[in-house]
Structures are given as C-alpha cells and as structure tokens.
Amino acid sequence: MVHVPSEPSDATPRQPDAARRRGPVYAVIVNYRTPDLTAAAVRHLSASVLPDRDLIVYIVDNGSGDDSVERLRASCPGAILIASPRNLGFAGGNNLALRDVLATVPGSADRQDSFVLLLNSDVEVEPETLPRCLAFLDTHPQAAVVGPRLLLPDGSLDLACRRGFPTPARAFWKLTGLARRFPDNPRFTGYNLTHLDEMETTEVDSVVGAFMLVRLSAIDQVGLLDDTFFMYGEDLDWAWRFKARDWRVYYHPEATALHLKGATSRRQSYHMLYEFYRSMWLFHRKHYAPRTNRLLNWLVFAGIVARGGIAMASNALRPAHAKRVA
C-alpha cells in the first residue's frame, strides 16, 4: 500500500473560521481503472456546501495496473491517494482508507462528531446532497447510517438505495421474479421495498454502499467492512452489524444523487455477476444458516447457484453495451 502525497486542491470547499469547525467528513472513493469517473465524482463532491466542516477525500486505487494513479494525482491533487498493489474488492479497498481514518481521528469527542462517506466513483452528488444527509444525522442521534435517493440516468429510482435484509423468503421472491411482477405487494417486496413511497424518509434495513454516510463512533463499535465480500453484500452485512448494536439506518430522499450504475464494473460483467450471487450465499451463511435447518440451507444454495447460472447464460446472449452486472 502506498500513500501518494498531494497538494491542497483549489476544488476543496472553502471553510470559515477554524474556531467554529465541527468534525470532518472523510469521503472514500475506490477506483478501479475508471480515473475519469473518479475525478468527476471528486469534482461533484467538492462542490458540497459545508460551512462548518472539513471534507477530506481519500481515493483508493484498487490495483488498477494502468495509469490511474498518475492521472488521479494530477486531476485530484487535494485528495489523499492510496495505491494498493492488488485489487482487494470494494470492502478491502475501502478498509485501506478506513484504517487510516480511524488512526487519524484523536479523541472520542472528535469521533462522535466525525463521519465517513463511502462513495462509488460512478455517483455524482449535488451540492446539497451531503449537507442534507449530515443535517439528518445531526437530528437523529441513534442513526448510524443514512443514504440518499439515488437516481439512475433514466430518472428512475436505483432500487438498491433502500433495502430489507435478504431473508430466505425475500430472496425467494426476488429470485423467482415475483417481487418484480407484484411491485406494490409488501408480501413480495420486502427486499427492494418497492411498495413504499420513494419520496418518504424511512427507516430501512440497509442503504447501498454507493453512497453510505456513517458515524465514525458507530464504526468504532462494529468494526470495518467484512472483506470476505469482494463485491456486493458488504453494505448489507455492515448495516446488519450496526443494527445488531441498536443503531438505526435511514433512507432520506430529501438528498438526491445520480448513480451511473454499472459503469465501474460492466467491463467485468461475468466476474461481477459471480460476485453478486456469491455475496448472497455469504450473507445467508453468515447471518441465517446457523439458525436454519440444513434442508432449507441446501435449497437456498441450490437456488442461488441456479439463478446465477441462468443470469450468466442470459448475459452471454446480450451485446457488449447491454451486459448486466447484477
């Protein structure tokens, strides 16, 4: 792991008198061969209106093996750049920066008022997105995590931005397509919550790691992301662990961001599909299998394998521009 030093950027938000500073926001963006997207994400984030906080941006290059580090050093000079020699996955890459953050923030009082933002390189925030999420956490002290309303390029809601935990029943409704066929029926929509009003702030099981604002003091209690999850599922697992410690997780649609979903991983669509279905099994094995009978565990595993195989086969028939990653 290499820290690449850089000079302060003119794009860094200007802040008022240091005597009135509150705890910083540490934003972490993992880059894998998408330096242009990452630089754009940093530019949008740097326009955030934060009158009383510092914004400290970490970029983790996840073993890109191309010219990403040099290009990001030039385009994002105000960021702390960490170069990993290999691809550690989403959780592993974020953990490189999170360890540095946890070692940097001094006392417990500072940690209570400091936050970590996980942000995908393919997410473009508005100037008010981060401030509105911070304001929400300020008024909800039991909330460990908040996520905004994420919109796809066509203007539709990114369903992953508010979710229930994938219980065996919810996974079955999703894998069989019944959740998609009956989007307003809460019996079938417990995972993507499509029966809820997307404009209503709601306590949920999990938001998505593409934009996940987290209290640093809550991370102190539950620990880092579980890097057993290479890609997908680590955000659900983290939310599970926060809620197990009596923290709350909220979807807050007054804050909005654009998610260019799949832009960071479509070139590896088959690998990402594998990781998507692998993460489903990892989550089940970690949180449900110990209290589920063996037959049901076997059926869940068989269902995930079968659905993953169908997804792989379907993907093979799609043209390159239409490849899916989940």
Provide the 3-class DSSP secondary structure of residue 257: strand
**2-163+204-262 fold:** Spore Coat Polysaccharide Biosynthesis Protein SpsA; Chain A (3.90.550)
**137 CA to centre of own chain:** 17
Task: Identify the burial level of 2 via C-beta atoms within 10 angstroms of its C-beta, where 0-12 means exposed, 13-18 middle and 19 or more buried.
Answer: exposed
Residue 258 near residue 124 (C-beta atoms within 8 A): yes
Residue 111 near residue 217 (C-beta atoms within 8 A): yes
* Cα–Cα distance for residue pair 82/72, rounded to 1 Å: 11
Task: Identify the burial level of 62 via C-beta atoms within 10 angstroms of its C-beta, where 0-12 means exposed, 13-18 middle and 19 or more buried.
Answer: buried
Going residue by residue through the chain, which has 326 residues, state the pLDDT in tens, using 9 for 90 and above: 444 444 334 444 444 444 568 999 999 999 999 999 999 999 999 999 999 999 999 999 999 999 999 999 999 999 999 999 999 999 999 999 999 999 988 766 677 889 999 999 999 999 999 999 999 999 999 999 999 999 999 999 999 999 999 998 998 898 788 999 999 999 999 999 999 999 999 999 999 999 999 999 999 999 999 999 998 999 999 999 999 999 999 999 999 999 998 655 444 477 778 888 888 888 888 988 888 888 888 888 888 877 777 877 877 766 655 555 55
**pLDDT tens-digit series, residues 64-92:** 999 999 999 999 999 999 999 999 999 99
* Cα–Cα distance for residue pair 31/72, rounded to 1 Å: 9
* Cα–Cα distance for residue pair 72/35, rounded to 1 Å: 6
Residue 107 near residue 174 (C-beta atoms within 8 A): no
∠ at Cα 12 (6, 15), nearest 5°?
130
Domain ranges of the chain: 2-163+204-262, 268-322
Residue 226, both tokens: 């579980």
CB atoms within 10 A of CB 159: 19
Count of all residues that appear for the chain in the document: 326
User: Over 15-79, what HEC string results?
Assistant: CCCHHHCCCCEEEEEEECCCHHHHHHHHHHHHCCCCCCCCEEEEEEEECCCCCHHHHHHHHCCCC
* Cα–Cα distance for residue pair 27/34, rounded to 1 Å: 17
CB proximity list for 113: less than 8 A, separation 6 or greater: 22, 23
* Cα–Cα distance for residue pair 54/23, rounded to 1 Å: 7
What predicted TM-score, i.e. pTM, was given to this entire model? 0.86
168-175 helix and 269-287 helix, angle to the nearest 10 degrees:
150
